[in-house]
C-alpha cells in the first residue's frame, strides 16, 4: 500500500513538472505585457487578452509558416514510414552477407550528435543547389531514420514467421508478403513512428535556422523566433504563437495516442 501511494505521488509530481510549463505558456498568452512580468506571477489573467492571438497571427505570416511546416513534416513522416518499414523488414527477415554488421553500423549513427553532421549536410545541400528551399529540410531526414528502422525491425521479429511461410506456400513473393501480410500488422509501430517523426520535424529549429534565409520559406519555430527583437521581446505574442503552434501536434497525438502506446509497448528489444 505504501509503495503504491509513493509511486502515485512520484507520478503526480512528474506530471505537474511537465504540465506546469504548458499552463504557464497558456496563461501568459492571455495576459497583458505588464501582467506577464508581475511579481509574484499571476496565474489568472486579469483582464483576459484574447486579442493576443489575432495580433500574433497578424504580426507575422504564420499562414505561410504553417503551410511550410506541414509540407516538411508530412513529407518526412510519409517517407520515413515507407523507408523504415521496408528496411526494417529487410533486416528482420532477409538473410544476406554482413546483415548484422550493417545493422549495428546503422544503429551507430544514433550515437553521432546532429550538430556534428549539420556542416556536411549544409555543404551537400549547397552543392546540390537546393539550399534555402523546403527540399533541403525534407531530403536528409526523409532518406532514413536509424531509430525508425530499429523500431520496425524489432516489431517484425516478434511476428509469427508462420504467416509468411504460409504465404510462400501459396506462391507469394517477398514484395507480396511485405505488402499484404506484414505491413497490415505494423499499424501500431507505424503510428508511433509517424508521431515521433511528425513531432520532431514540426518542432525542429536548428536545421531550418541553418538551411533557410528567405522568410517565405520559414517554418513555425523560425517564425516564432522573429518575435525576438533587438531590444525587447513581445512575450505575450510569443506565447500566443506557441499555443497556436502546439495545436496541430496535440490533435495528431490525441487521435493516434492509443496506437503510439501500443506500438511502444509491443515492440521488443530482441537483437
**Is residue 73's pLDDT more than 60?**
yes
On average, the pLDDT of the chain sits at 83
**Is residue 29's pLDDT more than 60?**
yes
Which residue segments constitute the domains of the chain, with CATH numbers given?
1-50 (no CATH), 59-266 (1.10.3720.10)
**Is residue 263's pLDDT more than 70?**
no
pLDDT at 240: 85
pLDDT at 259: 66
**Is residue 220's pLDDT more than 80?**
yes
Find out whether the peptide bond into 47 is cis, omega within 30 degrees of 0.
yes
Helical spans, DSSP H, in the chain: 2-29, 33-36, 52-59, 62-93, 99-108, 114-128, 135-143, 146-157, 161-169, 174-177, 187-202, 206-211, 220-225, 235-266
pLDDT band at 69 (very low <50, low <70, confident <90, very high): very high
pLDDT at 76: 92
pLDDT band at 2 (very low <50, low <70, confident <90, very high): confident
**Is residue 127's pLDDT more than 80?**
yes
Query: What SS3 string covers 252-263?
Result: HHHHHHHHHHHH
Q: How many CB atoms lie within 10 A of CB 152?
A: 28
pLDDT at 86: 92
pLDDT band at 261 (very low <50, low <70, confident <90, very high): low
In this prediction the pTM is: 0.82
**Is residue 269's pLDDT more than 50?**
no
**Is residue 5's pLDDT more than 70?**
yes
pLDDT at 271: 39
pLDDT at 262: 63
pLDDT band at 7 (very low <50, low <70, confident <90, very high): confident
pLDDT at 260: 64
- Per residue in 145-194, pLDDT (tens digit) is 888 899 899 888 888 888 888 888 888 888 888 888 888 888 888 888 88
Find out whether the peptide bond into 40 is cis, omega within 30 degrees of 0.
yes
pLDDT at 51: 83
pLDDT band at 89 (very low <50, low <70, confident <90, very high): very high
Distance CA(17)–CA(23), nearest Å, equals: 11
Amino acid at each position: 500500500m505504501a509503495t503504491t501511494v509513493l509511486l502515485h505521488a512520484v507520478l503526480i509530481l512528474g506530471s505537474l513538472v511537465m504540465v506546469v510549463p504548458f499552463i504557464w505558456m497558456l496563461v501568459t498568452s492571455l495576459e497583458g505585457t505588464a501582467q506577464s512580468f508581475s511579481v509574484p506571477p499571476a496565474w489568472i489573467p486579469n483582464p483576459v487578452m484574447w486579442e493576443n492571438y489575432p495580433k500574433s497571427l497578424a504580426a507575422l505570416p504564420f499562414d505561410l509558416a504553417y503551410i511550410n511546416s506541414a509540407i516538411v513534416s508530412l513529407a518526412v513522416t510519409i517517407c520515413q514510414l515507407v523507408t523504415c518499414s521496408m528496411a526494417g523488414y529487410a533486416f528482420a527477415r532477409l538473410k544476406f552477407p554482413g546483415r548484422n554488421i550493417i545493422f549495428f553500423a546503422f544503429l551507430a549513427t544514433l550515437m553521432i550528435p546532429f550538430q556534428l553532421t549539420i556542416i556536411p549536410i549544409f555543404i551537400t545541400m549547397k552543392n546540390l543547389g537546393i539550399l534555402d528551399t523546403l527540399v533541403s529540410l525534407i531530403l536528409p531526414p526523409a532518406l532514413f531514420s536509424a531509430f525508425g528502422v530499429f523500431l520496425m525491425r524489432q516489431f517484425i521479429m516478434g511476428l509469427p514467421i508462420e504467416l509468411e511461410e504460409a504465404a510462400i506456400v501459396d506462391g507469394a513473393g517477398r514484395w507480396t508478403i511485405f505488402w499484404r501480410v506484414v505491413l497490415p500488422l505494423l499499424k501500431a509501430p507505424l503510428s508511433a513512428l509517424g508521431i515521433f517523426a511528425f513531432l520532431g520535424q514540426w518542432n525542429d529549429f536548428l536545421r531550418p535556422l541553418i538551411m533557410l534565409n528567405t522568410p517565405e520559406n520559414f517554418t513555425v519555430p523560425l517564425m516564432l523566433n522573429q518575435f525576438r527583437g533587438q531590444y525587447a521581446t513581445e512575450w505575450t505574442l510569443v506565447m500566443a504563437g506557441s499555443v497556436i503552434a502546439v495545436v496541430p501536434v496535440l490533435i495528431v497525438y490525441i487521435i493516434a495516442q492509443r496506437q503510439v502506446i501500443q506500438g511502444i509497448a509491443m515492440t521488443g528489444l530482441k537483437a
